Amino acid sequence: MIEEYIKPLKIGELTAKLPLIQGGMGVGVSLSSLAGAVAAEGGIGVLSTAQIGFYRPDFEKNPLAANLKAIAEQVKLAREKSRGGIIGANIMVATKNYKDYVCAAVKAGVDLIISGAGLPANLPEYVKGSVVKIAPIVSSEKAAKTICKLWDRHYRRVPDMVIVEGPLAGGHLGFSEDQLEPFIRKNPLAAAKQMSVYDSEICKIIEVASGYGEKYGMEIPVVVAGGIDTPEKAEHYLSLGASGIQIATPFVATEECDAHRAFKEAYVRAKDEDVVILKSPVGMPGRGLKNAFLERVHRGEKREIHCRQCLQHCNPAAIPYCITEALIRAVRGDVENGLIFCGANVGKIEKISTVHTVIENIFG
């Protein structure tokens, strides 16, 4: 039963009452309202810094400045809602000016920085001298070993936590198209086999974390993410030895989520067949909802791009669309002309509820 696995999630001196992290979702999907609400319920609330300042009047003129100001604003607001809970920031390694975003989050007083979409090789350097905890997102034992070895060798430290993101997650995915093929073709037997391989990978990553934790006289919790939306799934991963779970998609269809209501209603209307694997300008596969926008992209239609300086290796002349523009349109409610990232199980969402209800449905 899930009850026996509901233990506080400890990350050094930080302790969350529930073994739960809310996944960071940009652009503007997980801001202070959602993060603060999850933290107030005893989980870890997470802001996404991806174009976090899109709502500010100075965003179009100076996106970087607007985003850095918004980090401070949103952390402060999340704190006010959190009832003393833990607030983290999800910062993509692929972000242009990545160091500036990390430093801004540290200055704003986040408790934790979670970083994926690449390996955060220099993250320890950017948080040096602070008490901020750092957690890389990995999808394989190889990636976990690489980042632990790198930080150990160059910075004499290891991750405070490791998040393992699986093939059922939403947004950008750390898997090749071959690995995602069973889910693209919706082949149940092949998908089940792939999930079994993923379970094995989780156990190996837990061993890596345990070994490096022993070396440094600490415990490195491993948190599993991707497709977890029932008590049974949560129990499964916790029974494998994970210290917690990360949930994102179910939190979108809540009153507290920062996205426009039309964005949430798109989740409620979604069926399994609406979920597709797409090619993102980030250079990684992603999972989202099929709509008129993606159909135009598939046909090769392209709009003029006004670059907002979001991605480190983005060439506006070569990409099929601007991911910033597409995500902003969607989060503001233009769901047919924007990009709607989602997890594999979005089709199971039947109504807009609350953060409390989502958590209660998992942990009771």
Q: CA torsion sign, 147 to 152 to 154 to 160?
A: positive
Whether residue 270 sits in one domain with residue 249: no
- Please report, to the nearest 10 degrees, the dihedral formed by the alpha carbons of residues 17, 106, 77, 11 taken in order: 0
pLDDT in tens, 124-175: 999 999 999 999 999 999 999 999 999 999 999 999 999 999 999 998 888 8
Q: Percentage of the chain with pLDDT > 90?
A: 79
Whether residue 303 sits in one domain with residue 255: no
Whether residue 171 sits in one domain with residue 53: yes
Whether residue 276 sits in one domain with residue 206: no
Count the domains in the chain. Answer: 2
pLDDT in tens, 171-225: 888 888 788 877 877 778 888 888 898 999 999 999 999 999 999 999 999 999 9
Rg, C-alpha atoms of the chain: 19
Task: Output the pLDDT for position 111.
Answer: 98
- Euclidean distance between CA atoms 355 and 34, whole angstroms: 8
E-state strands within 66-225: 86-90, 112-115, 133-138, 162-165, 171-172, 222-225
Task: Output the pLDDT for position 165.
Answer: 95
State the residue range of the domain holding 316. Answer: 262-346
pLDDT in tens, 16-48: 999 999 999 989 999 999 999 999 999 999 999
What does residue 217 show for φ and ψ, rounded to 5 degrees? 65, 40
Distances in Å between the alpha carbon of 14 and those of 11, 86, 88, 112? 5, 8, 11, 9
Task: Output the pLDDT for position 316.
Answer: 64
Show the CA angle centred on residue 255, arms to residues 254 and 261, nearest 5°.
90
Task: Output the pLDDT for position 192.
Answer: 87
Whether residue 270 sits in one domain with residue 140: no
Task: Output the pLDDT for position 179.
Answer: 84
CATH of the domain at 22: 3.20.20.70
Whether residue 235 sits in one domain with residue 310: no
Whether residue 268 sits in one domain with residue 121: no
Least confident residue range of 11-20, 180-189, 311-320? 311-320
Whether residue 252 sits in one domain with residue 328: no
Whether residue 327 sits in one domain with residue 211: no
- Is residue 56 very low, low, confident or very high in pLDDT (cuts 50, 70, 90)? very high
Whether residue 359 sits in one domain with residue 340: no
Whether residue 335 sits in one domain with residue 208: no
Whether residue 304 sits in one domain with residue 228: no
Show the CA angle centred on residue 120, arms to residues 44 and 137, nearest 5°.
45
